């Protein structure tokens, strides 16, 4: 029955509008993201993009509303229709950039700093809480802020050993 709910531009627009509003109200990551579009303008934008939405559906994929620049809000000029799989992939890429990790880590409270302590990533220089023992080294400290940086650091060490050994 899912296909029936998104069969018309009006039903698709209604569903996506509700998702956007709910995300902005409930998700802390969206606290600084603005909704700079009225519902009627969004409905018209969906109608203009309906051929692309149908094309994505014809490929057995789920169409998704994406913000081109994730730092900006929901404005017509900053929106596009892409597949849900592509939107998820882009979201994961954006979440692992040093800027995104720094933004998350800027919210480290003094209480958490006192409780856990703070390290600086040896790969990218970002400050992070040192609280997960599974990623600590033999000395009981963690040296990287994420698995991405840990992998980068391992690759750098392998290259260094190759050149020196």
What is residue 66's DSSP assignment?
E
- Measured CA to CA, the distance from residue 65 to residue 83 in angstroms comes to 8
- Measured CA to CA, the distance from residue 66 to residue 81 in angstroms comes to 6
pLDDT attached to residue 1: 41
Torsion-angle region of residue 6: left (phi > 0), alpha (psi -120 to 50) or beta? alpha
In terms of Cα–Cα distance, which of 149, 117, 157 is closest to 133? Answer: 117
pLDDT in tens, 108-121: 566 666 666 677 77
In sequence order, the 6+-apart residues with CB closer than 8 A to the CB of 15 are: 5, 6
How many CB atoms sit inside 10 A of residue 97's CB?
A: 13
pLDDT band at residue 93 under the 50/70/90 scheme? confident
pLDDT attached to residue 32: 82
**Residue 117, token pair as written in the block:** 């302590």
CA distances from 12 to 31, 35, 50, 162 (A): 25, 18, 9, 55
Q: Which of 52-66, 86-100, 102-116, 121-135 has the lowest mean pLDDT?
A: 102-116
The strand ranges marked E within the chain are 63-67, 79-83, 118-120, 127-129
pLDDT band at residue 95 under the 50/70/90 scheme? low
In this prediction the pTM is 0.57
Mean pLDDT of the chain: 78
Give Cα 49 distance to the centre of its chain: 24
pLDDT attached to residue 154: 76
**Helix axes 39-48 and 50-58, enclosed angle (nearest 10):** 60
């Amino acid at each position: 029955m899912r296909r029936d709910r998104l069969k018309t531009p009006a039903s698709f627009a209604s569903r996506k509008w509700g998702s956007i509003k709910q995300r902005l109200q409930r998700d802390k990551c969206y606290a600084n993201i603005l909704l700079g579009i009225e519902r009627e303008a969004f409905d018209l934008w969906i109608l203009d993009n309906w051929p692309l939405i149908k094309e994505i559906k014809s490929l057995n994929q789920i169409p998704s509303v994406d913000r081109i620049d994730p730092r900006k809000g929901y404005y017509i000029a900053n929106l596009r229709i892409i597949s849900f799989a592509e939107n998820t992939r882009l979201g994961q890429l954006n979440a692992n950039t040093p800027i995104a990790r720094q933004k998350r880590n800027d919210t480290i409270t003094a209480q958490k700093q006192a409780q856990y302590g703070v390290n600086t990533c040896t790969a990218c220089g970002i400050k992070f809480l040192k609280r997960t023992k599974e990623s600590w080294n033999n000395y009981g400290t963690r040296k990287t802020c994420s698995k991405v940086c840990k992998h980068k650091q391992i690759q750098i060490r392998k290259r260094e050993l190759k050149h020196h050994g």
